[in-house]
Amino acid sequence: MKRTKWVERKFEFNLPVGVFPCVVERLRGTPARMEELVRALPAHVLAVRVGESWSVQEQVGHLLDLDELHEGRLEDYEQGLEVLRPADMTNRKTYEADHNSAPIAGLLAGFRDARARFVRRLEALEEEAVARTALHPRLQKQMRVIDMALFVAEHDDHHLASITELTRLLATR
């Protein structure tokens, strides 16, 4: 099945604020799910690119790179900004990081640490803060903190699915 590209996805943000703890649990679990996907892969597979797609290590590194944006967006909400800071849609940070040269254990540990910081900040929010809104610059939609957290979880799953697809493809070669 051909997956929809991330930038082509459409989102409806209508979860009740009371579901926020479930979304936070999903975010907390991403490092463990990623580690489970990557653990059994041989080292020579981790840095393989197929066409223009990122390698497994680049997928991991990309999620690590983006936790800085997610934390920054929490600051945007805290400051009452009307528009959230934009993502770099060229993904320059990921391309320049050369994640394929880094040890996978370091990337996984870095992501686990960064995600734990993000989750701790989310868990510290009161219900009023979870309902704050700001405009997402690319989607051009109002987004509450709960919606931003769900958006991050969906993005995580997009890349976990990419890792799964890549490993299946490489297994057939």
Q: Structure tokens of 28? A: 């907390």
Residue 10 is assigned to a structural domain of this protein: no
pLDDT digits (tens, 9 = 90+) for 37-85: 999 888 889 999 999 899 999 999 999 999 999 999 999 999 999 999 9
Query: Which residues form the domain of 147?
Result: 18-171
Who's near 91: CB < 8 A, 6+ residues apart?
62, 65
Split into its structural domains, the chain has a count of: 1
For position 1, what pLDDT does the model report?
Answer: 77
Q: Structure tokens of 97? A: 């990081």
CATH number, domain containing residue 131: 1.20.120.450
Q: Does residue 118 surpass a pLDDT of 80?
A: yes
Residue 104 is assigned to a structural domain of this protein: yes
Residue 12 is assigned to a structural domain of this protein: no
For position 3, what pLDDT does the model report?
Answer: 85
- For the segment 146-173, the average pLDDT, to the nearest whole number, is 94
Neighbouring C-beta atoms of residue 159, cutoff 10 Å: 20
Strands 141-144 and 133-136: antiparallel
Residue 48 is assigned to a structural domain of this protein: yes
Residue 9 is assigned to a structural domain of this protein: no
